[in-house]
Amino acid sequence: MTGSTILHARTINHRNAPTEVREKAHLGEEQAVALMQAVAEIPGGVAVIPVSTCNRTEIYLEVTEGADSPAILREALDRVGACTDVFFGEHAVVLDGMEAVEHVFRVASALESMMLGEPQISGQLKDAYRLSRLHQEPGPVLLRAFQGAFRTGKRVRTETHISKGAVSVAFAAVELARKFFTRLSDHTALLVGAGDTGSLAARHFLQQDIGRLVVVNRSPQRAIELAEVLREEKRTGKLGDARELPQVETESHYGLVDQRPWEELAEAMAEADVILSTTGATEPVILPEMVHRAVASRKGRPIFMLDIAVPRDIHPDVAGIGGAYLFGLEDLDEIIKGNLAARQRQVPHAEKIIAQELAEFRQWLADLDMLPTVAEFRTYLEELKNKQVGFVAKKESPEIAAAVDRSLQQFIKKVLGRSVSTLKQARTEEERQHALETLHRIFGEDEPDKD
């Protein structure tokens, strides 16, 4: 790509490979580091950045011009015990040069994600990049490609709304809960169920500044463990800017996050302003009589109930109880579909940003190609200047010699500037290459000293 190095990429992702193939392709951290070391040891290999997530494993390889990139990658993968055949099989997509650059720009912008606009991929790419910098020195093209990808992704996230709106059930449920109240920080949420979806919903509640979160689970140990993890994450700032509020005076209170035993579910319901239920029960766990008692004890304050379990956790008859407002997966599905459609409308804007960044990358590549020749030209002119200044210094005062030096330095600056400008303004690549070759032929090799 630069006249000295070439970028080669291979991707196994959710668009072209089933789960079992993606599992075979996955590279753990130790394998990723070993792959970097292997590439560096193989002639022609410059550097490699492997990226492995649950939905994709991608390898970005930089090699010297003329090197056999597939052969280098195959040998490196074999050395580290990876499933080499997967990367050379029917499910692998091969990308070279600018195609590879465009792909990593799109990945960083979350246009290639399973869930359009999801923000996690940016952090995953940065983790892979940091690991790479710890164990190797990426080549100029690989370095610039990833830095450009990070800049592109940031622009897409800040200049478009492609990451706005909930597109997961847990997040959609919390987003819906936000619409019930002026400020979530004045209210209590009850989480019934401490599995993966419940844990995710709990984090979303805390990120949205819920005043108090109570966790109830059939397995009390699981509820205790989740509450402890959430409190620790909150304490260390991993949950964003959610702030601590004055403690609510209850016997079991531990701060922003509580847990209560399953036997106290009915009492916890009476204290909650919003209930999110997501257990794995086969029968409803929240029954009409429980809701009747909870509503009666709240003195007119409503309860908003979100049932995101399959099968349903909340008995459907609860929908007819005054003071209780029940929402299910169908309601959340409409929110998610609307948000996905809104994100899809942002794609053209995102692709325009990517096109702008790719144009800058191409210009950088063009400039990079001419740097060695321009450097040779600069060296030639500097040598001429030094000879002339030396000649003047033998016959004139130091002040005059210094003045000549400054004058010639300005002359060199103008000549170089004009030359670089002319190269950049070449109408075709052939014209530009011809100019570079002419400059290199005239000034690139040392001439015998005729003095």
Edge-to-edge strands, sheet with 257-260: 257-260, 212-216, 188-192, 274-277, 303-307, 324-327
**How are beta strands 303-307 and 324-327 bridged, if at all?**
parallel
Cβ(278)–Cβ(309) below 8 Å: yes
Cβ(295)–Cβ(324) below 8 Å: yes
What distances in angstroms separate CA 65 from CA 270, 369, 444, one per listed residue? 70, 12, 21
Cβ(116)–Cβ(344) below 8 Å: yes
- Residue 443 has a CB neighbour count (10 Å cut-off) of 18
**How are beta strands 56-64 and 257-260 bridged, if at all?**
unpaired
54 part of the active site: yes
| Contact partners, residue 339, CB within 8 Å, separation at least 6 | 164, 165, 166, 167, 172
351 by Cβ neighbours in 10 Å (0-12 / 13-18 / 19+) ranks as: middle
Tokens of 338: 């609307």
Of 173, 163, 219, the closest CA to residue 197 belongs to 173
Burial letters for 44-67: b for 16+ Cβ neighbours within 10 Å, e otherwise?
bbbbbbbbbbebbbbbbbbbeeeb
Backbone angles phi, psi at 277, to 5 degrees: -115, 130
Please identify which of the residues 54, 355, 402, 415 carries the catalytic annotation. Answer: 54
Q: State how far the Cα of 7 lies from the Cα of 146, in Å rounded to an integer.
A: 12
Backbone angles phi, psi at 420, to 5 degrees: -65, -40
| Contact partners, residue 329, CB within 8 Å, separation at least 6 | 169, 307, 308, 310
Residues with catalytic roles: 54
